[in-house]
Structure 1
């Protein structure tokens, strides 16, 4: 299976990295989640509703919409925090260097392994967010960045929604017995498609080793 791959690039101040990643990833997950399924039989089901909420950023003039699910929001925040902490560690090693990072949100489905106890993971959509962390030294620069990054982020969100509205591949709706091969069914209120979040950081991403954290699978994947 060939995965559809998208790459978004943006340069932001260090204080804006977290909100940038959260706003883009939550927009993607909003389009890649469903309400909980209630099965009435192996081939019949009804779909619950998804609650949504507005989130206003502190360091960017921007408001985004996310699913109002504490479980999902905590999972995404945990992995974005890991990314931020690795950025800080790298910054301590290279205080005057422009750092770059790639955070990847990968959607996949599982296939039962024939000859092993492990399921095979088949990615079908990959979103790479390439971030350059700018070094801003004055409050005046930060105020300008707060406004300008908001405009850039709006453009990125538009690109995401435009791509989502196209007729691209998504896994077919599974039978009840196979729901957990396509969806993460562990959340009590929603069902996102199975996904991984990974990241890597370097002052030179070429040839660097990835620093990874994953959701929904024990398989760690390299960037495609």
Structure 2
């Protein structure tokens, strides 16, 4: 299965990063999650109802749909907060990567092989304080053919419409409104991509192999196995450095496919040498 790569680019202020990342990551994972599988016998199963809820951004007037599982929401938000906490005054941009993959059990002493089938890269470029009045740049997501979208995503009362009113008087500026519009468009892009006929999902596994395709650690739902990692680019006067973020896969070990393979090989070779 070929890896499908999707790029989403956003330019925003530091205070908006958490909202932006949560809205995008939660929306993607929502479309890559099923209700809990219940097997009657091999080859016969039912899929439970997937609970969902409407979430609201803290810094601007925007709402989106996410899974209503507290444990899943907490895991995702903790990883995003880890990313946000790494942002400093010298940070130029950050890249959040969301990978969906399947596992193939490997013989000892190697770790299970990971095969990524879909990757989402969310690049967030920070607007410097002196340029806070700039409008958000129109980021380009992965090109897709126009698809029909359910009316709930177009009508004024739909879940992706910015009609929830908090205390946003301090953000009532042209740049804030453009950021809201931009994120709304990105959420619609996610709907188009996730529901595209070109998005071929992994085959449903047999019961013994369920955890090679889905994360079965949750009691109320089953997302496809996924991994969230990040990179942060920092620019200091007279120098440029890139800080690599830790990679975490919920329910198992982290790292990219290459990292996992190299780590397993090193452990095997070191063990052999010690003998």
- TM-score, normalization by structure 1: 0.88
Work out whether 1:108 is the aligned partner of 2:143. Answer: no
- Note if 1:187 corresponds to 2:218: yes
Equivalent residue number for residue 132 of structure 1: 125
1:103–1:130: 8 Å Cα contact kept in structure 2?
Answer: yes
Rounded to whole Å, the distance in 1 between the matches of 2:16 and 2:196 is: 29
Please show how residues 70-219 of structure 1 align to structure 2 within 5 Å: 70-87=70-87, 90-91=88-89, 94=90, 99-114=92-107, 116-136=109-129, 142-144=171-173, 145-167=175-197, 168-203=199-234, 208-216=242-250, 217-219=252-254
Shift of 1:169: 1.8
Superposed CA offset, 1:2-61 (max 9, x none):
311101001011111001011011111110000000000111100000111111212122
Equivalent residue number for residue 64 of structure 1: 64
Change (3 A) 1:3 1:23: same
Q: Which moved more, 1:184-193 or 1:114-123?
A: 114-123
Runs (5+) with no aligned partner, structure 2: 135-170, 259-275
* Rounded Cα–Cα distance in structure 2 between residues aligned with 1:125 and 1:188: 24
The Cα of 1:84 is off from its aligned counterpart by 0.3
Distance in 1, matches of 2:190 and 2:214, equals 21
Larger radius of gyration: 2
The unaligned stretches of length 5 or more in structure 1 are none
Superposition RMSD in Å: 2.2
Distance 2:231 2:104 in 1: 27
Counterpart in the other structure of 1:221: 256
Shift of 1:117: 4.5
Give the Cα–Cα distance (whole angstroms) in 2 for the partners of residues 78 and 13 of structure 1.
20
Q: TM-score, normalised by structure 2?
A: 0.73
CA distance in 2, matches of 1:140, 1:118: 49
CA displacement at 1:149 relative to structure 2: 0.8
Q: 1:108–1:123: 8 Å Cα contact kept in structure 2?
A: yes
